[in-house]
Structure 1
Amino acid sequence: MIQLHEVFGVGRGVPRYTYVDRSGLDARFNYLLGTERHIVVHGASKQGKSCLRRKNLNEANCIIVQCSPEMSNKNLWQNALRQLNACMTSSESETKQIGGSIGGHIQSDLNAFIIKSEGKLESTISSNSENNRVKSYVSGKEDDLDFLSAELKKHKKRLVLEDFHYLSESFRRKVAFDLKALYELGIYVIVIGIWSEQNLLTYYNGDLTGRIEEININWNGPELDEVLQKGEKTLNIEFSKELKKSLIESSFQNVGLLQRTAEKLCFTNGILTTQKAKQILIPDEMLQSAITQVIADIGQRYTRICEVFVKGFRSDTKLRIYYKIFRVLTKIDERYLINGTPYDMLLKMVQEESTEEVRPSDLTQCLDRIERLQATRQITPLLVSYNKNLKLLALMDREFLFFRKHGSVDWEELVPE
């Protein structure tokens, strides 16, 4: 019998019963796998980026590197080499030992006219040599990439960089140049991360133009409705039209949030497995109960994020711009969170929150480091990301909209003046 958690909810694997191939992404991804191009999959959190990769590329055929804020250019590629169980000889020495023994006895008799002697002599000489090789995983640049590419080809593996957004911007820029080198070596990498802007890697390295294909993961209403329809069929239930509308609107076009709310709703209604007789669900207090449960699950995260933005970096203690940015996020119209907040609008609102002058350069400096602030404080996934090309502050975590709308939090108390 099919269990509820197999149908709705958030998990690591590919949804067995509610997977939706939206806009032909499966066919596109599979086509790109056969091209001589890097593939970049990006978008907001919990939108199915890694799921798309798992659905269409067997993990047994991949070397998956999970990026982290602490990573350097050295250990990024070393991580891949360790998974390939690959190492190179970094030093070699040879030690020779020579040994032996001589033994025996000699007996002689001497008289005036006759000398008689008898003896026995034994000798043993041995020679031993030992080669000492010290092997280590590669570190460095071009030589490492040559070796890495050879190992990937030998093992027939595809390299995947997950959570690319956690790397610092300066490091992401270095990786963009390494990707160009890997391209020339015939290695085509899959890069997955949370950011909104198109052509991020080509922005870092223009030589990647034409060598990268991007997939921006988004969901629309009909696609989310299809997720619910598949779940209905599997569990033998029916969401009323009004209830479906409420579920989709509450998800803010985020499939992960839709899955969580639908699971809580079914659980609250006692639907834990496929129903023998069709059950029809209508919007009532059960929906509000499901929403309240989701809020309880995610509430601590946003309290923590608030604390991070209130403290900011030590250099920000006077103007407290990060703190003021978070205040703006709690007040601004949701359409600007969904579509991105323009720099000029953000500057004006931050200045309105300040008693001291905030110059454009002050805000720009903070926005340039806003991802680093979150990553170094273990904010996973990122709440916001700044698009330098479009000069937009983009919300990467749609659950914040859900929490802002349905949570009974007093933002003025949580984020004091």
Structure 2
Amino acid sequence: MAEKEETYKLEQVFTPSKPADITFVERNEINKRIDRAIRTSGKQIIIYGFSGVGKTSLLSKKLKEFGINYIKTSFITGMTIQDIVTDAFNQLDIYYPIQKEDVETNTVGGNLEASFWILKASLKAETKGDTKYSHKRAVELPITPQTLAKFIGSANLVWVIEDFHKIEESHKKQMAQIMKVFMDSSTEFPNLKIIALGAVNSAREVVQYDSEMRSRISELEVPLMSHDNLRRIIETGERLLNVKFSENVTNRIVTYSSGLPAVTHQLCLLLCELNNIFKTQKKTSRIQFDKFNDAMEEYVEENSDSFKAIFEQATKVVYSRKNENPLDLLGYIITLGKDNFSIPELKESIQKGNVNYKGTNLKKYIDEFTEPSRSEILRFNENHNTYYFSNPFIKAYVQCSLKIDTQKAQKFKQDFKNVLKEELLLAQKVFQEDFGDFDFGDFDDL
């Protein structure tokens, strides 16, 4: 008797807003390093990379692979170190005895620990002998990193901290000290560690505040995903849903994803929805190009608020600077009319309009655009020492925001789509130069 094929829901296969599971793609370039770091006792781990590059998916897969249980704290702007320590402690559900009363002998539960603090897992309703114990949650007491390390270690857990880069400057020294506490506690609890997900330089900042951590932190970069790996996401999805994307649709998805698997997942999800595919098909369904522009339209509409938020964060003025305010710099970059630019090229362009411009801090300010504080709007190519926009959607939004009054919503929306067509065609051209001449279709309906 033939084995029944498993049926998957669309939202199980393409997951733009949560870690990939069944469509997870292994990346050999980082697998060995993260495996080694997890196995090394006392090694604290910081995983960094661009937003949407797959850091959370990679970590989730590895923790599952190693059979590691964990508690997770998501760092939110404005949180203090004490806030995240309290959050972790609260998740452990730890109690302590506050009183005991004389009662008749009547054992209700068993194995009640008489220690000062005990995990909820060890707590059972019990009266024993002539004494009844009452307990209260320990989260209400002062909590130290040493205590937190002890109980996370005792529970055989690791502590995962998301958005590690959002730690304020004034708290970074404390975070370095907490990591050192966990490192020292690994003598008693070999599996104890902190695994932090953050942005570039996260680990270097920890080392900056505590040099002893230099050899005890594993700084692991999750790079932009290669075209081949992005294709593997699509191919896995095709197999699980029994669908087939046409070659030009696949090429476009890969090109416009700009190395971000989250974008690949979202475009595939939208295309399947537009083709009324919501679960594994009994017969192979083919997804042709005629729905691609509709998917792009939906993607732009769905992310318009995100594009706006990214632009506003990228151009926020903290301290006013002549010729070097964020909005000014983005204007100069767009005026260059190049896909990639170097600092000398940008400096020369600015000096054409201001011969007295020195550009002493220009690199520092451009580097800010590659950081989460300015929405990672640019990326830096170390091989060529040049910068470029993180994806064509953001570049198009910046161009339109610099050109027109953003209050004119309808005009802005149409201009954005017009500029986006040009940027997507440029991205397509680069793809064709690298991988051959494919038929991508056109953008008439976008």
State the Cα distance separating 1:240 from its structure 2 match.
2.5
TM, length-normalised to structure 1: 0.70
TM, length-normalised to structure 2: 0.66
Q: 2:428 is matched with which residue?
A: none
Gaps of at least 5 residues in structure 1 are: 93-132, 375-381
Question: Which residue identity is paired with 1:53?
Answer: L
2:376 corresponds to which of 371, 377, 383: 383
Structure 1 residues 254 and 149, CA gap change in structure 2 (3 angstroms) = same
Q: 2:325 is matched with which residue?
A: 321
Q: 1:191 is matched with which residue?
A: 196
Report SS of the residue matched to 2:159. strand
Structure 1 residues 296 and 66, CA gap change in structure 2 (3 angstroms) = same
1:66 aligns to 2:59 (yes or no): no
1:404 aligns to 2:412 (yes or no): no
Structure 1 residues 359 and 306, CA gap change in structure 2 (3 angstroms) = same
Structure number with higher relative contact order (C-alpha < 8 Å, ≥ 6 residues apart): 1
Aligned length: 356
Instruction: Work out whether residues 306 and 326 of structure 1, in 8 Å CA contact, stay in contact via their aligned partners in 2.
Output: no
Q: Percent identity?
A: 18
State the Cα distance separating 1:229 from its structure 2 match.
0.8
1:301 corresponds to which of 292, 302, 306: 306
Question: Which residue identity is paired with 2:27?
Answer: R
Report SS of the residue matched to 1:288. helix
State the Cα distance separating 1:33 from its structure 2 match.
1.9
Report SS of the residue matched to 1:300. helix
State the Cα distance separating 1:402 from its structure 2 match.
3.0
Structure 1 residues 135 and 161, CA gap change in structure 2 (3 angstroms) = closer
State the Cα distance separating 1:136 from its structure 2 match.
6.1
- After superposition, residues 177-216 of structure 1 pair within 5 angstroms as 177-186=177-186, 187-195=192-200, 199-216=204-221
Report SS of the residue matched to 2:404. helix
State the Cα distance separating 1:38 from its structure 2 match.
0.9
Instruction: Work out whether residues 163 and 197 of structure 2, in 8 Å CA contact, stay in contact via their aligned partners in 1.
Output: yes
The two structures, once aligned, show a CA RMSD in angstroms of: 4.2
State the Cα distance separating 1:216 from its structure 2 match.
1.3
Write out per-residue CA displacement over residues 41-87 of structure 1, whole angstroms, 9 at most, x where no aligned residue: 11111122112222232598212121122122332322222222348
1:231 aligns to 2:226 (yes or no): no
Q: 2:83 is matched with which residue?
A: 75
Report SS of the residue matched to 1:41. strand
State the Cα distance separating 1:349 from its structure 2 match.
5.5
Report SS of the residue matched to 1:248. helix
- After superposition, residues 6-405 of structure 1 pair within 5 angstroms as 6-16=12-22, 18-23=23-28, 25=30, 28-36=33-41, 37-57=43-63, 61-86=69-94, 144-186=144-186, 187-195=192-200, 199-218=204-223, 219-283=225-289, 285-313=290-318, 315-316=319-320, 321-328=325-332, 330=334, 336=340, 357=357, 359-361=359-361, 364=364, 374=374, 382-384=375-377, 398=390, 400-404=391-395
Structure 1 residues 165 and 199, CA gap change in structure 2 (3 angstroms) = same
Question: Which residue identity is paired with 1:190?
Answer: I
Instruction: Work out whether residues 86 and 139 of structure 2, in 8 Å CA contact, stay in contact via their aligned partners in 1.
Output: no
User: Which has the higher Rg, Structure 1 or Structure 2?
Assistant: 1
Report SS of the residue matched to 2:24. coil
Question: Which residue identity is paired with 1:188?
Answer: K
Structure 1 residues 367 and 74, CA gap change in structure 2 (3 angstroms) = farther
Q: 1:104 is matched with which residue?
A: none
Gaps of at least 5 residues in structure 2 are: 1-6, 99-135, 187-191, 408-446
Question: Which residue identity is paired with 1:195?
Answer: V
Using the alignment, how far apart are the partners of 2:246 and 2:213 within structure 1? 49
Greater mean alpha carbon deviation, residues 324-333 or residues 47-56: 324-333
Instruction: Work out whether residues 17 and 262 of structure 2, in 8 Å CA contact, stay in contact via their aligned partners in 1.
Output: no
Using the alignment, how far apart are the partners of 1:269 and 1:386 within structure 2? 34
In terms of fraction of residues, the more strand-rich structure is: 1
Question: Which residue identity is paired with 2:287?
Answer: L
